[in-house]
């Protein structure tokens, strides 16, 4: 995907799947981009990575001149729908090194990842994030579509979803995060985040 217009990315920037040799650089991206939360996010990535396989989940990096400038990860969680449990994907985390921000790298990672998951037949991608950013990529508030968030500590506006072509109307219900999000206490806001 290297289209012009929205979703294009800087010349010289390559998007590709993360390789084992990228791990340290990916960690560094999250430590630098997330500031005080960087350690939690970097540790979460190291745990989630073990759940990513060629058929399930996705870990993409943006590389420019041999430097990892951005990273995005999608991993499997469950939607507790009335008919049955449905495998969905959660976009978390996304980060771009501060020096590379506002050049379309984050946009390219989101769009490439969503396109790859759509091709695999994934019905829904959920995330927690700033609606101001993700609305640009087609995400909408999950509550409005009948989805329930996995924690009351997630602000309503932050709980967002992107429905892909394989989504069917009966696929509603509660998002159940995979265990690593709880183990790393990486769900929603704690009182200490809002004080
Ligand atoms: C959010 C982030 C991934 C965006 O990456 P990026 O490569 O700079 O994104 P893009 O270049 O594709 O888009 C940049 C645009 O998004 C806007 N934007 C960035 N963060 C935003 C936010 N939280 N809310 C609204 N808009 C935001 C920028 O202002 C910019 O707008 P402009 O094009 O009108 O100037 C990056 O800023 C980052 O790593 N932030 C720290 C980690 C983080 O918050 N990750 C997201 C967790 S949900």
Using only C-alpha atoms, the chain has a radius of gyration, in whole angstroms, of 16
Q: Which atom of ligand 1 is found nearest the CA of 30? A: 42
In DSSP terms, which residues pair with 97 in a beta bridge?
Answer: none
102 CB near ligand 1 (under 6 Å)? yes
From first to last of its 195 residues, what are the pLDDT tens digits of the chain? 333 344 566 778 999 999 999 999 999 999 999 999 999 999 999 999 999 999 999 999 999 999 999 999 999 999 999 999 999 999 999 999 999 999 999 999 999 999 999 999 999 999 999 999 999 999 999 999 999 999 999 999 999 999 999 999 999 999 999 999 999 999 999 997 766
Closest Cα to atom 21, ligand 1: which residue?
133
Q: How far is CA 139 from CA 80, 91, 147, 150, 192, in A?
A: 20, 11, 13, 17, 27
Task: List domains and CATH numbers for the chain.
Answer: 13-194 (3.40.630.30)
User: For residue 125, what are the contacts with CB-CB under 8 A and spacing of at least 6?
Assistant: 74, 88, 89, 90, 91, 114, 117, 139, 161, 162, 164
Closest residue (by CA) to atom 41 of ligand 1? 33
CA atoms of 180 and 40, how far apart (whole Å): 11
Nearest protein Cα to ligand 1, atom 32: 102
């Amino acid at each position: 995907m290297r289209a012009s217009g929205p979703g294009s990315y800087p010349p010289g920037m390559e998007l590709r799947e993360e390789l084992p040799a990228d791990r340290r650089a990916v960690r560094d991206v999250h430590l630098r981009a997330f500031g005080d939360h960087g350690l939690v996010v970097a540790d979460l990535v190291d745990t989630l990575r073990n759940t990513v396989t060629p058929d399930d989940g996705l870990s993409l990096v943006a590389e420019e001149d041999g430097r990892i400038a951005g990273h995005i990860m999608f991993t499997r969680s469950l939607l507790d729908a009335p008919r049955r449990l449905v495998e969905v994907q959660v976009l978390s985390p996304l980060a771009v090194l501060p020096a590379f921000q506002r050049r379309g790298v984050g946009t390219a990672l989101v769009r490439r990842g969503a396109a790859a998951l759509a091709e695999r037949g994934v019905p829904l991608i959920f995330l927690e994030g700033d609606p101001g950013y993700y609305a640009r990529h087609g995400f909408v508030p999950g509550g409005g579509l009948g989805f329930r968030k996995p924690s009351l500590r997630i602000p309503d506006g932050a709980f967002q979803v992107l429905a892909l072509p394989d989504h069917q109307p009966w696929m509603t219900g509660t998002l159940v995060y995979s265990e690593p999000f709880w183990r790393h206490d990486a769900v929603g806001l704690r009182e200490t985040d809002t004080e």
